[in-house]
Copies of this chain bind each other. A is one copy, B any other.
Amino acid sequence: MATMQRLQNTGLELFYAQGYYNTSVDDILKKLDLSKGAFYYHFDSKEDYFIQIIQNLLARKIYSTLIEPIEGHDNPLSLITKCFDDAMETAVHNEMDYGCILSNFLTEFNGKNDVIMRHLNEIVTVWEVNLVTTLQKGKFNGYLDRHVDCEAAATFLMSSYFGVRTLMTSEAPSAKKYRFMSQLRQYFKSIEAKPVNF
């Protein structure tokens, strides 16, 4: 694999596990047995490096785990349920889980680096737009109650997902997942299309 790819992959790994500010360029170089020269040949700075990681790896990761799985013409509530369930199951089985990578970086860079924040927010927006669209389509197709505010539902879903991933990192992730999912279904039941009365 090309050096540039290895650098980005290992960078994302370490930044996710240890945080951006708590991970030095030397840490990454040591892990790959590379030199400073190799690094600064491919990237202008640590910040430039991270931005490329965001665009090349993080964006795709979020897309493949949170966006693509909810596309389709089925009941969006079922798709979202399965999507969240799968994502959390991966986290549970990952002995070293550090929460939702996107949420973590949002927390780390908020108020500290506007450039990086813009890139992260772009990803958040893509997710949000996709969620809203999916919910609206679901409403149109008769899966959701027609009174549902899809923007609000999307915000609520994103919030709860970010939060539960944070909570899961501290204690009893499996129990947290189970409890979360049960209440997510409860919430979904309250916004799904009501059977028509004859």
Q: Are A167 and B176 in contact (CB under 8 A)?
A: no
Closest to A155 in B: B179
Q: Are A191 and B186 in contact (CB under 8 A)?
A: yes
Looking at the complex, which one of B110, B153, B161, B189 makes contact with A183 (CB distance below 8 Å)?
B153
Question: A111-B96, A163-B159 known; A124 and B170 CB under 8 Å?
Answer: yes
Residues of B within 8 A of A153 (CB): 183
Tally of this chain's copies: 2
Counting CB contacts under 8 A, is A3 at the interface?
no
Q: Is the interface of A mostly helix, strand, loop or mixed?
A: helix
Residues of B within 8 A of A106 (CB): 166, 169-170
| Besides A96-B111, A111-B169, A153-B183, 16 other A-B contacts (C-beta < 8 A) | A18-B112, A98-B110, A107-B107, A107-B108, A107-B169, A121-B171, A124-B171, A152-B182, A155-B164, A156-B184, A156-B187, A159-B160, A159-B166, A159-B180, A186-B191, A189-B190
